[in-house]
Structure 1
Amino acid sequence: MTAPARAAATRRGTGRIPSTPARWVRGLCAFLLLLTPTACSSEAIGLSFSTPRVLKVGVTPRPDGEILAHVDKAVAPALGFELDPVRFTDAAAAKEALRDKLIDVAFVRNDPEAAALGQVMPGRGLAFVAPVFVEPLAVYSSTIARVSDLEEGGEVLIPSESAKAGRALRLLAAHGVVRLREGAGTQATVRDVTANPKHVRITEVPAEEMPRGYDDAVAAVVDVSTAQRTGLTAAGGKVLVLEPADGNAYVNGLFVRAGDEDDPQVSKLAELLRSPSVKAFIEDTYDHTIMPAS
Structure 2
Amino acid sequence: MKNTRSVKIFVGLLIAGALVFGLNQPVHAGGKKEAAGSGSTLTVGATPVPHAELLNLVKEDLAAKGITLKVVEFTDYVTPNTALIAGDLDANFFQHIPYLASNAEWNAALISAFGVHIEPFGIYSNSIKDIADLKEGATIAIPNDPSNGGRALLLLQSKGIITLKADAGITATIQDITANPKNLKFRELEAAQLPRSLADVDAAAINGNYALEAGLNPAKDALIIEGADSPYVNIVVVKKGNENDSRIQALSQALRSAKIKDYITKTWTDGSVVAIF
Give yes or no for the alignment of 1:293 onto 2:267: no
Residue type of the partner of 1:157? A
1:169 is matched with 153
In 2, the alpha carbon distance for the partners of 1:123 and 1:239 equals 32
Equivalent residue number for residue 34 of structure 2: none
Q: How does 1:74-223 map to 2 (within 5 A)?
A: 75-77=61-63, 81-112=67-98, 124-223=108-207
1:188 offset after TM fit, Å?
0.9
Residue identity opposite 2:72 in structure 1: V
Aligned equivalents of 2:259 and 2:50: distance in 1? 16
For the pair 1:239 / 2:222, whether they are aligned, the reply is: yes
How far does the alpha carbon of each residue in 1:256-294 deviate from its partner, in whole angstroms, 9 at most, with x for none?
112222322222212211122112112221224333233
Q: 2:256 aligns with which of 274, 278, 282?
A: 274
- Cα 1:154–1:232 change in 2 (3 A) is farther
Aligned counterparts of 1:62 and 1:192: Cα–Cα separation in 2: 35
Give the distance between the partners of 1:279 and 1:174, measured in 2 at CA: 24
In structure 1, the partner of 2:53 is 66
| Cα distance change, pair 80–209 in 1 and its aligned pair in 2 (3 A) | farther
Residue identity in the other structure for 1:43: A
The Cα shift of 1:157 comes to: 2.1
Q: CA offsets per residue over residues 160-197 of structure 1, 9 Å max, x none?
A: 34333212102223344433223212221122123444
Q: Aligned-residue CA RMSD in angstroms? A: 3.5
Shift, 1:242, TM fit: 2.3
SS of 2:214's equivalent? coil
Structure 1 residues 114 and 76, CA gap change in structure 2 (3 angstroms): closer
Secondary structure of the corresponding residue to residue 62 of structure 1 = helix
**Deviation for aligned residue 1:150:** 2.5
With over 3 angstroms needed to count, the CA separation of the structure-2 counterparts of 1:269 and 1:200, relative to structure 1, is same
**Contact 2:97/2:231 (8 A) holds in 1:** yes
Provide the secondary structure at the position in 1 that maps to 2:58.
helix
SS in 2 for 1:124: helix
CA distance 1:49–1:292, change in 2 (3 Å): closer
The answer to whether the 8 A contact 1:126-1:258 is kept is: yes
| 3-state secondary structure, aligned to 1:86 | strand
When residues 269 and 174 of structure 1 are mapped into structure 2, their CA distance, relative to the original with a 3 A threshold, is: closer
In the TM superposition, residue 106 of structure 1 has moved relative to its aligned partner by 1.1
Are the structure 2 counterparts of residues 149 and 106 from structure 1 closer, same or farther at C-alpha, using a change threshold of 3 Å? same
Q: Is the 8 A contact 1:57 1:105 kept in 2?
A: yes
Cα distance between partner residues in 2 of 1:277 and 1:202: 41
Q: Taking structure 1 as reference, are residues 225 and 81 closer, same or farther at Cα in structure 2, changes over 3 Å only? A: farther
SS at match of 2:116: strand
Residue 113 of structure 1 contacts residue 186 of structure 1 at CA under 8 Å; is this kept in 2? Answer: no
* Corresponding residue SS for 1:158: strand
> SS in structure 2 opposite 1:260?
coil
Structure-2 change in CA distance of 1:218 and 1:46 (3 Å): closer
The one-letter amino acid paired with 1:65 is A
Which TM-score applies when normalising by structure 2? 0.73
Task: Give CA-to-partner distance per residue, 1:18-47, whole Å, 9 cap, x none.
Answer: xxxxxxxxxxxxxx9xx98x9489526869
Residues 216 and 93 (structure 1), Cα distance of their counterparts in 2 relative to 1, 3 Å cut: farther
Shift of 1:105: 0.4
| Native 8 Å contact 2:97 2:112 kept in 1 | no
Which amino acid is 2:83 matched to?
Answer: A
- Determine which structure has greater relative contact order: mean sequence separation of CA pairs < 8 Å that are 6+ residues apart, divided by chain length: 2
How far off its partner does 1:153 sit?
Answer: 4.4
